[in-house]
Amino acid sequence: MNWPAILRTGLALGLTPSEVWQLSLMEWRALTGSAGNAALDRAGLDALRARFPDKSDPNKAEIEP
């Protein structure tokens, strides 16, 4: 994360530093117009699954589909 840029953007919006750091992600996105499409689509899910594959638990039985 580019924290200095986040702080500069918040200050440019008229917020105090304390107010910037107290914002939730949803509030930040609403203020900066960066909400975009927050929904995870199939391609995004596939990318996450490829990057973070499930690890098998040796104590758990595998279930056949």
- Flag whether 8 is in a domain: yes
Distance CA 40, CA 56 (A): 25
> How far is it, in rounded angstroms, from Cα 28 to Cα 36?
12
pLDDT at residue 57 in the model: 66
Phi–psi pair at 40, nearest 5 degrees: -90, 120
- In a domain, residue 63? The reply is no
Residue 11 lies in a domain: yes
- Domain containing 7 equals 1-37
Q: pLDDT band at residue 38, thresholds of 50, 70 and 90?
A: low
User: How many beta carbons lie within 10 A of that of residue 23, not counting itself?
Assistant: 16
**Count of domains for the chain:** 1
Of 65 and 41, more confident? 41
* Confidence check: pLDDT of 37 > 80: no
Which tops the pLDDT comparison, 54 or 60? 54
Residue 51 in tokens? 């990057």
Tokens of 54: 């499930």
pLDDT tops 80 at residue 16: yes
For residue 16, being part of any structural domain is answered with yes
